[in-house]
Amino acid sequence: MSPKTILVIGSSNTDMTAKTAELPRPGETVLGGVFTMGAGGKGANQAVAAQRLGGKVKFICKVGKDMFGDNSIAQYEKEGLDTSGILRSNLPSGVALIYVDSHAENCIVVASGANGDLTEDDIEKSRKDLESCDILLLQLESPIPSVLKAAKIAHQAGKTVVLNPAPACPLPEELFRNIDLFIPNETELSTFSGMPVTSEKEAEAAAKAMQAKGVGKLIVTMGSKGALICEGGPSVFVPAHKVKAVDTTAAGDTFCGALCVAISEGKSLKEAAEFACAASALTVQKMGAQNSIPYRKDLKF
């Protein structure tokens, strides 16, 4: 049996990261420590994570006709991703400015650039990929109409549609009805459900509210606590690994990519969440986005 294909559609950014003792307040200038520059963007991070962790991955994004775009595509090809669907825009490539403090907390400013130029026509041109993949993984750093169109095409073709709703923003109700697996964190789940999410009990109640909107299954990521799986029956909690976090930048993206790999291999949601938690635990122990994402050989699975 040939391996199942994971199609990731999303953003590609160049991440510029500076580590500081404290995050700057409005109007404040702080002196930072280490500066690094590397490939990032939620879509790219998740695609790279899935590829490194053993998936068969195709990545579709839009980059500028500039050195950042050229470098990104070269890096994705080096990772082994199928880049044949990547598009070029007349807008600059996306850039993210990331600040990380001594407590491993971060704040991020994203200049979307070409990411915001991914159109519904672009998605239509990718219809064959959407209809031939097994799993579609989406996020919200791309224009929402394009996200909706991709989800609808894949859902109607009977594919497993996975949405990581980050960064949270207003979404059409129609999108929820085309999602098989929803992976929000506590804050995002609260935003979309309109309910408080500060505990497992509240997360389960909010998850049920999302399922009433048409969402299939949910996995709620709860940071250093772990992940809550809601499939319709009693929820199941998968605890996180206890590690010393250095930088949480790509932890959620690693979780999503790892989860899709495990699902593509036929694992249950609980087994997939355990695999994803293990991968995320390795990610937070390193600085940066894609350079912190582990390889399959790094995991004891």
Express each pLDDT in 60-72 by its tens digit: 999 999 999 999 9
Which residues make beta-bridge pairs with 110? 96
Q: What pLDDT shows up at residue 1? A: 55
Going across the sheet that includes 35-40, the strands are: 35-40, 13-19, 94-100, 106-111
User: Would the pLDDT of 2 be above 70?
Assistant: no
Cis peptide preceding 143, ω within 30 of 0: no
Taking residues 117-142, report their average pLDDT. 98
Q: What pLDDT shows up at residue 172? A: 97
Q: What pLDDT shows up at residue 258? A: 98
Q: What pLDDT shows up at residue 65? A: 98
Give dist(CA 25, CA 99) in Å, integer: 12
Q: What pLDDT shows up at residue 170? A: 95
Give dist(CA 16, CA 40) in Å, integer: 9
SS3 218: strand
Compute the Cα dihedral for 141, 205, 160, 226 and give only its sign: positive
Q: What pLDDT shows up at residue 96? A: 85
Taking residues 156-167, report their average pLDDT. 97
Q: What pLDDT shows up at residue 90? A: 97
Q: What pLDDT shows up at residue 233? A: 83
Count of beta carbons in the 10 Å neighbourhood of residue 287: 18
The residue annotated as part of the active site, out of 66, 180, 253, 298, is 253
pLDDT > 70: what percent of the chain? 99
Taking residues 7-35, report their average pLDDT. 91
Taking residues 162-180, report their average pLDDT. 97
In 26-147, beta strands by DSSP E: 35-40, 56-60, 62-64, 87-89, 94-100, 106-111, 135-138
Taking residues 69-87, report their average pLDDT. 97
44-67: burial string, b at 16+ Cβ within 10 Å, e else = bbbbbbbbbbbbbbbbbbbbbebe
Give dist(CA 104, CA 71) in Å, integer: 28
Pick the closest to residue 136 from 293, 253, 10 (CA basis): 10
Taking residues 157-178, report their average pLDDT. 97
129 is catalytic: no
The whole-model pTM stands at 0.92
Lowest mean pLDDT of 56-60, 231-235, 282-286, name the range: 231-235
pLDDT > 90: what percent of the chain? 81
In the chain, beta strands by DSSP E: 5-9, 13-19, 35-40, 56-60, 62-64, 87-89, 94-100, 106-111, 135-138, 160-163, 181-182, 217-221, 226-230, 236-239
Give dist(CA 253, CA 30) in Å, integer: 28
Q: What pLDDT shows up at residue 108? A: 83
Express each pLDDT in 83-113 by its tens digit: 999 999 999 999 988 888 888 788 888 899 9
Dig out the tokens for 126 from the structure.
């990718």
Taking residues 157-185, report their average pLDDT. 97
User: Would the pLDDT of 261 be above 80?
Assistant: yes
Taking residues 267-295, report their average pLDDT. 93
Residue, of 3 and 163, whose pLDDT is higher: 163
Give dist(CA 301, CA 296) in Å, integer: 8
Dig out the tokens for 132 from the structure.
């031939």
